[in-house]
């Protein structure tokens, strides 16, 4: 039987201390962890919140991703790609459907295109100089409108491997914006060549 929310909480705090702090384990013990275990402690585990609060944009009429459907560096009829500014890794891009869908209600045709687009975006990001790998994330706890993250890992920074990358990104100083902007344009142009679509929201040349 699956654990109910209260049972899951009881199951977890059974191994926590008197302040409901879980022990440090696994990822914090990896040698690529951004944090050394000494002096590090886990936040107290909070009880479940039920029902869960609504996410941003549950109502499409109040959804920023729908409002911004014409903003980005690459577009086709169904998708748009955006560069996220102010990050520490060389490049972070975000892919959104232009219409209001979450991942679980994406029509099959768009779901199939998401596979192709994700593969091509990764390929074009990894073709950039000094980008070793592009990682793909989909969370969706903050916004109801599907948004898929693409994070570029800088070449040679083997300490930034894997799932800690987003935390390292938050710790690093901002990567030079003019370099990231130029790299994003290279990816967008390569995507026009490999997948079609265009650099402006309507397909008209930019004024
Ligand atoms: Zn939306």
| Residues 74-111 as b or e (16 or more Cβ within 10 Å = b) | bbbebbbbbbbeebbbbbbbbbbbbbbbbeeebeeebe
Residue 206's pLDDT band (boundaries 50, 70, 90)?
low
Please report where in the chains the tokens 């690459």 appear, as a residue: 74
Cα of 49 to ligand 1 centre, how many Å? 24
Phi, psi (degrees; rounded to nearest 5) at 23: -70, 150
Give the domains, in start order, of the chain with CATH numbers: 1-53 (no CATH), 60-199 (3.30.428.10)
Q: What is the pTM of this model?
A: 0.94
Cα of 56 to ligand 1 centre, how many Å? 9
Please report where in the chains the tokens 């014409």 appear, as a residue: 70
Cα of 30 to ligand 1 centre, how many Å? 38
Cα of 29 to ligand 1 centre, how many Å? 39
The 10s digit of each residue's pLDDT in 148-205 is 999 999 999 999 999 999 999 999 999 999 999 999 999 999 999 999 999 999 987 6
Cα of 146 to ligand 1 centre, how many Å? 8
């Amino acid at each position: 039987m699956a654990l109910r929310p209260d049972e899951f909480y009881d199951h977890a705090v059974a191994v926590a201390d008197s302040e409901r702090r879980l022990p440090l384990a696994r990822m914090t013990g990896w040698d690529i962890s951004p944090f050394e275990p000494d002096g590090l402690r886990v936040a107290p585990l909070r009880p479940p919140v039920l029902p869960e609060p609504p996410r941003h944009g549950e109502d499409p009429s109040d959804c920023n991703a729908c409002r911004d459907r014409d903003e980005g560096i690459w577009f086709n009829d169904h998708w748009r790609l955006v560069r996220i500014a102010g990050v520490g890794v060389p490049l972070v891009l975000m892919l959104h459907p232009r219409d209001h869908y979450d991942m679980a209600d994406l029509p099959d045709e768009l779901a199939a295109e998401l596979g192709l687009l994700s593969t091509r975006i990764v390929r074009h990001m990894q073709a950039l100089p000094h980008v070793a790998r592009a990682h793909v994330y989909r969370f969706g706890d903050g916004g109801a409108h599907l948004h898929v993250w693409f994070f570029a890992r800088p070449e040679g920074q083997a300490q930034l491997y894997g799932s800690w990358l987003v935390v390292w990104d938050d710790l690093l100083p901002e990567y030079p914006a003019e370099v990231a902007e130029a790299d994003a344009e290279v990816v967008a142009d390569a995507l026009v060549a490999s997948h079609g679509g265009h650099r402006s929201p309507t397909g008209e040349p930019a004024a």
